[in-house]
Structure 1
């Protein structure tokens, strides 16, 4: 019974962690776009986005990442045999990518809190898909528990990424057309 409670808590915090990652990058998009606004609108929006980013990052995203990781390690402690399975090795590689993605988001967060906008809103829209790709990979690995066909999964993820990029370019054209 303990295992099921820990698994449920792990899943809850993984979901809130991803929700935080999805929304923080969306706020980065808005922040970058606010830099293009005239004064005083720019200052008002940026101040509001910085506050929203701060609260999201430190009240939801970071605690969720820590708790999801804690419960994951606890699950591995309860079931160490998973560490001998190939699907878990692939999953852990994607989790490592997720930690790297989170770290990069933290770096961007810090820059934006200092008023440094080093990326465009287009960059952030593409960057936002990184978490989506990792989420797809991890969910399929956990549900299917099959790392033998991981090549098909990688091909699927790359195909999915290409579709997202095409959709993004199509959406960008529509937005630019509507601005005229």
Structure 2
């Protein structure tokens, strides 16, 4: 149970960053003054680099659980494969956020605040799906 507890703690901290970083993108895309632009650049960079280790620890403890017992218990069940696929999508989302941080840092943002508002909803959908799959184990 310790593995699961630490996995959940790291997952919650990772999601906190994954929820907040795109919200910063929304506000940054709406900013039209230089001081605000520079402030958002610092906030985005610091949050991304603060959040990334939590992602790594979440994955490390998750794969440790898979290796230790979960794959043997649930490896043939479809819900686990879908969950792992969604986690892969979330990792890609996180890495894409890093690309967006670099684009903002170089003043090369090409998206509107409305685009970022929609982009911000992706991890919410993934969180709902992953939690429901892990708890309900529907198939």
Whether TM-score is above 0.5 comes out as yes
Q: Which sections of structure 2, spanning at least 5 residues, go unmatched? A: none
Q: Does 1:144 align with 2:128?
A: no
Other-structure match for 1:68: 58
- Distance in 2 between residues matched to 1:57 and 1:10, nearest whole Å: 19
Higher relative contact order (CA 8 A, sep 6+): 2
- Distance in 1 between residues matched to 2:38 and 2:57, nearest whole Å: 29
Q: Does 1:57 align with 2:58?
A: no
Q: How many positions carry a matched residue from both structures?
A: 137
- Distance in 1 between residues matched to 2:67 and 2:15, nearest whole Å: 23
Pairwise CA distance, 1:138:
0.2
Q: TM-score, normalised by structure 1?
A: 0.73
Q: TM-score, normalised by structure 2?
A: 0.94
- Distance in 1 between residues matched to 2:2 and 2:40, nearest whole Å: 36
Larger CA Rg, structure 1 vs 2: 1
Other-structure match for 2:95: 103
Q: Does 1:18 align with 2:15?
A: yes
**Alignment map for 1:141-180 (pairs within 5 Å):** 141-147=133-139
Q: Which sections of structure 1, spanning at least 5 residues, go unmatched? A: 148-180
- Distance in 2 between residues matched to 1:45 and 1:140, nearest whole Å: 39
Q: Which among 103, 113, 117 is matched to residue 121 of structure 1?
A: 113
